[in-house]
Chain A
């Protein structure tokens, strides 16, 4: 499944946003519209677009529709979901 191919249905795309420190892995792209049913599929899309990056993205925390996940994998994505990659959060 391509991230934004001609067959993609705009209305069913999730918006993915990358922070500055990940732009080295995305060729400078800050935002991407992606068709994916869950976070696992999103990672596959990113790996296919930017080979070798799956491990980098999988190690990030991610906010899906305002909910922060430290270890996202199977979380579903909705049409128009907003996905923000973030640095992992720890604590004392």
Chain B
């Protein structure tokens, strides 16, 4: 398993540096900034899920006392098609229309106008004074319905992409994707047992605690500053510039503390509106979403319809598999069907498979990323099918997975061979875990499932400043969502050879540090960590040069050991080692302040696997599920700060269990979400869940100096199927659709009796 490496700081669990301000309320979140003469911006949202906009008249709103600005789609520049850039951003024209509708509204809650006024109540009254004429159209609310030949079209110009020939008529299917290998028919003929299933999962939201919020101000020279909660302020700057036709250098973005994102804060909604309203009014404008706005108008993850068929020999060897995966994109193209297709069979060796995936437009909010986007839905289908297969083969479910698990050198279903990975190590750790063999209470059930995610690198920048006393300031360009400041401090301390307590980290704004892609994709500890390590190595090189100059020896005669410059072995120099503090104290004599920097596009992200064990009980009279125990096993590569790694594993498990058991967007026949609040959209709270046990497996990623793989995505992939398989074990009834809510389970149990 883990290689023995004698790290001094990596792998320790120091107290998080942002904790005190967060628990005392001092931390500044997106809605916390107030400026003199600030106005409140609000958005008028469509009451229809699908309609043509005949006209928007804001004149009555603008004439009201206290109203300083009112805008609609006509006030925005026409956005040309092109890649908006960033994480899951999509087409510029689509993002522009999502931020503010132009000719059509495509979901209930779609923005059609916005105002800025001196108070929130005046802004509300102004919204009520805006006249919008609609020509209401039939909404398309279901992925199967949307794929039908005669379905009403959301976009007359949407022609299915990735087909050999451009189709001759438009469709709600924005794109298709296929992956295939071997001969599926022959593979199924060789099977002794075949299982298949049909699985539906409705849209679900990330459920971050902090709603979207921002404040923008623009001066007479056209230079704007935006404070906002975001997973990536550099990419928000770029998107806002593109949507408003502004020069990037005229936009400064400052990231606030952030109360969760999970992928949902990688795209702009309010920021371009706030800048435009500020420009029109000449005053700062603050905009804040309500929870209802968040549900109706930001990006959840796709609802899906998946079909999976798997064949196996009596000994459990898989012979063939097929997957048909339809993902709801919401109002604009861009469902995560590609990652879903690439993930569905990724954990298993398969000579014969065929995967088809579809990106489908429906009159619902445009989806956004959510931890391992697209993977949990696909994994639910295959992992439930494998559970059924294990039952038919009378085989332990972990043994079945071990029999077929990928390892280093296996050709992945998505193309290349796997480099060093830790799937088998995770399966073995799960099988050996005492929770796997712990006796269950009577009537309870146990389920197992596995999960996979690629992880990514991408661009990061970092600077390391050495203060005059040798203490260290790390500047990163990534908003700290999952504990990156602590992790960056740990990696800097380890690399420089100094104490953790002498290092501080901060998140720079877009004018004070170099470009960094979003905090997402489990990339920050990996990629930004690499930038911090390189910046520290830059410092070490400078320190060695200054020590050499101080001692009058060549630079290659100096080494860096335990945080100090020392003569290299064999160098005959009667000198005292120089610590970082010593070199910093005399820096004014040896060339000035010490500043290290690095920027990179990190390659070599290491794939991460997980195995989950779920114990639960189902109340036969009410259908309510009580989760009795949950064990998350995951390969982190190397856990820089194990508390944060376990936090990610527990957070992903909690969100996955919520998705499995209760969470769902419920729409009426007109496409109006009926449960747009946390009372009716039921995310798990602390009293709903047991302590989630974590076992961190460490199979180091050879492409990272400390072996980091990234941990934030994978934890949500397996819990959906783990819970579904536990329900099957507890009740004897297989329920393929999620959520496993009391009414659905009660109905299934009653039907089986």
A residues adjacent to B (C-beta < 8 A):
17, 19-21, 23-24, 28, 59, 63, 65-71, 82, 84-92
B416's contact among A24, A28, A63, A91, by CB below 8 Å, is which?
A63
> In the complex, what distance in Å separates the CA atom of A69 from the CA atom of B370?
22
B residues adjacent to A (C-beta < 8 A):
83, 87-88, 162-165, 175-180, 206, 261-264, 266, 336, 338-339, 342, 369-373, 414-419, 453-458, 520-523, 601, 603-605, 703, 712-713
**Residue in chain B with minimal CB distance to A65:** B416
> In the complex, what distance in Å separates the CA atom of A7 from the CA atom of B454?
39
- A–B complex contacts, Cβ < 8 Å, 25 sampled: A19-B415, A20-B179, A21-B175, A21-B176, A23-B164, A24-B165, A66-B418, A66-B419, A69-B603, A70-B456, A70-B458, A84-B415, A85-B415, A86-B414, A87-B177, A88-B338, A89-B454, A90-B87, A90-B88, A91-B87, A91-B521, A92-B264, A92-B372, A92-B373, A92-B713
- A-chain residues with CB within 8 Å of residue B373 when the two chains form the complex: 90-92
Nearest chain B CB to A59 CB, angstrom units: 8
> In the complex, what distance in Å separates the CA atom of A70 from the CA atom of B263?
18
Nearest chain A CB to B166 CB, angstrom units: 9
- A-chain residues with CB within 8 Å of residue B264 when the two chains form the complex: 92
Is A63 in contact with B457, judged by CB distance below 8 angstroms? no
Is A21 in contact with B177, judged by CB distance below 8 angstroms? yes
Nearest chain B CB to A15 CB, angstrom units: 11
- B-chain residues with CB within 8 Å of residue A89 when the two chains form the complex: 339, 342, 454, 456, 521
Given contacts A24-B163, A28-B164, A89-B456, 15 further A-B contacts (CB under 8 A): A19-B179, A24-B165, A67-B416, A67-B703, A69-B603, A70-B458, A86-B342, A86-B415, A87-B342, A90-B456, A91-B87, A91-B456, A91-B520, A91-B712, A92-B520
- A-chain residues with CB within 8 Å of residue B453 when the two chains form the complex: 91
- B-chain residues with CB within 8 Å of residue A68 when the two chains form the complex: 416, 454, 603, 605
**Residue in chain A with minimal CB distance to B713:** A91
Is A91 in contact with B455, judged by CB distance below 8 angstroms? yes
Nearest chain B CB to A3 CB, angstrom units: 20
- CB within 8 Å for A84 and B163 given contacts A20-B180, A91-B522, A92-B262: no
Task: Count chain A CB atoms within 10 A of each CB in B162, B520, B521, B601 and give the residue with the most.
Answer: B162
Is B419 in contact with A92, judged by CB distance below 8 angstroms? no
Is A92 in contact with B370, judged by CB distance below 8 angstroms? yes
- CB within 8 Å for A90 and B415 given contacts A20-B179, A23-B164, A68-B605: no
Is A24 in contact with B520, judged by CB distance below 8 angstroms? no
**Residue in chain B with minimal CB distance to A71:** B601
| Cβ-closest 6 pairs across A and B | A91-B521, A92-B263, A84-B415, A63-B416, A20-B178, A21-B162
> In the complex, what distance in Å separates the CA atom of A21 from the CA atom of B520?
26
- B-chain residues with CB within 8 Å of residue A65 when the two chains form the complex: 416
Nearest chain B CB to A50 CB, angstrom units: 14
**Residue in chain A with minimal CB distance to B520:** A91
Is B164 in contact with A90, judged by CB distance below 8 angstroms? no
**Residue in chain A with minimal CB distance to B301:** A92
- A-chain residues with CB within 8 Å of residue B417 when the two chains form the complex: 66, 82
Nearest chain B CB to A25 CB, angstrom units: 10
B712's contact among A19, A59, A66, A92, by CB below 8 Å, is which?
A92
> In the complex, what distance in Å separates the CA atom of A92 from the CA atom of B299?
12
**Residue in chain A with minimal CB distance to B371:** A92
Is B521 in contact with A92, judged by CB distance below 8 angstroms? yes
Nearest chain A CB to B195 CB, angstrom units: 25
Nearest chain B CB to A6 CB, angstrom units: 30
> In the complex, what distance in Å separates the CA atom of A70 from the CA atom of B520?
14
> In the complex, what distance in Å separates the CA atom of A84 from the CA atom of B263?
27
